[in-house]
Structure 1
Amino acid sequence: MVSQFINEFDTLGLYFGLAGIFAFIGLAIKDVLNSGNVPKFGRYIVWGVLFLGCSGFIAKGLIQVFWQGAGVG
């Protein structure tokens, strides 16, 4: 019973930690774009790539949860 709680806590800590890292990456990119006077089109490309990376990570997590719930993985 205790090991199940430790595993859940570990998983939640990993996901929140990675979300924090993505947030810090976003803040760093925002700072670099503002200090570098990047044109709007370039900013859209950079934020689009960052969004696709985050959405891929979220999709991977959701697929993993659904597959494990169905007994596939």
Structure 2
Amino acid sequence: MANQYIQQFETMGLYFGLAGIFFFIGMAINDVLKKGDVPKFGRYIVWLVLFLGCSGFIAKGLIQAFWQGAGVG
């Protein structure tokens, strides 16, 4: 029973850690875009690529969780 709680704690820690990394990456990109005087269109493209990368990672996690919950994987 305790092993299950430890595993859940590790999983949540991993997800929160990765969310923090994505947050800091976003802050760094925002700083570079401001200091580099990038045009608006370029900023939109950069944020779109960042969003698609994050959403793909989140979708992968959700699909994996649903499959494991259904006993597929």
TM over 0.5: yes
User: Does 2:44 correspond to 1:44?
Assistant: yes
For structure 1, list consecutive stretches of 5 or more residues without a partner in the other structure: none
The amino acid of 1:63's aligned partner reads I
Question: In the alignment, what sits opposite 1:68?
Answer: 68
The amino acid of 1:20's aligned partner reads G
Question: In the alignment, what sits opposite 1:59?
Answer: 59
Deviations 1:9-65 (A, max 9, x none): 000000000000000000000000000000000000000000000000100010001
Distance 1:37 1:5 in 2: 48
TM-score (structure 1 length as normaliser): 0.99
How many Å apart are 1:5 and its aligned residue? 0.4
Q: How does 1:25-44 map to 2 (within 5 A)?
A: 25-44=25-44
For structure 2, list consecutive stretches of 5 or more residues without a partner in the other structure: none
Distance 2:13 2:70 in 1: 24
Report the RMSD for the aligned CA atoms in angstroms: 0.3
Question: Runs (4+) of structure 1 moved beyond 3 Å?
Answer: none
Distance 1:17 1:51 in 2: 17
Question: In the alignment, what sits opposite 1:9?
Answer: 9
Aligned length: 73
